[in-house]
């Protein structure tokens, strides 16, 4: 006999409760409750659009900051590591933005081919274009 609660194997078939977790074995367990999948979480499109907008603004800020620190680095020959950190943040925020844009494209049933061509055909301009296109719909 196996306990329905913890899965512990019970050696005596005449036991009334599980010696491991204390579950009452006389209690009937509904099979539908055991096989029932957890309810799916509803996704709010407005919240996703807000998240994409925030990531888009972060990405634009990183573009501006990388240009500023590149100019500072070229003029002073200092702050090279700071420029590389900002460049890393730029790439990371772009990848996060692409992930969220892909999620919105799936929610709006947009084709995958358009997403790939727009964002990887012409990387920076395509991302701007695809963001504006997704926010317009």
Domain extents for the chain? 1-36, 45-136
Is pLDDT above 80 for 42? no
97's CB contacts (< 8 A; 6+ apart) are 52, 55, 56, 58, 59, 127, 131
Position with higher pLDDT, 45 vs 56: 56
Mean pLDDT of the chain: 79
49-90 confidence digits (pLDDT tens): 899 999 999 999 988 988 888 888 888 877 778 878 888 888
Measured CA to CA in angstroms, residue 26 lies from 2, 5, 21, 32, 99 at distances of 13, 12, 14, 18, 50
Mean pLDDT over 33-54 rounds to 76
Mapped onto helix, strand or coil, the DSSP state of residue 17 is strand
**Among the residues of the chain, which ranges form H helices?**
31-35, 45-76, 80-107, 112-116, 123-136
């Amino acid at each position: 006999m196996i306990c329905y609660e913890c899965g512990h194997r019970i050696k005596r078939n005449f036991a009334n409760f599980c010696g491991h977790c204390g579950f009452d074995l006389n209690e009937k367990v509904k099979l539908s409750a055991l096989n029932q999948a957890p309810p799916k979480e509803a996704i709010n499109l407005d919240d996703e659009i807000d998240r994409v907008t925030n990531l888009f603004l972060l990405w634009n800020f990183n573009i501006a900051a990388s240009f500023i620190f590149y100019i500072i680095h070229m003029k002073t020959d200092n702050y090279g590591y700071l420029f590389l950190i900002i460049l890393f943040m730029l790439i990371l925020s772009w990848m996060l933005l692409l992930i969220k844009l892909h999620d919105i494209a799936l929610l709006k049933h947009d084709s995958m081919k358009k997403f790939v061509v727009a964002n990887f055909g012409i990387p920076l301009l395509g991302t701007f274009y695809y963001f504006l296109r997704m926010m317009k719909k």
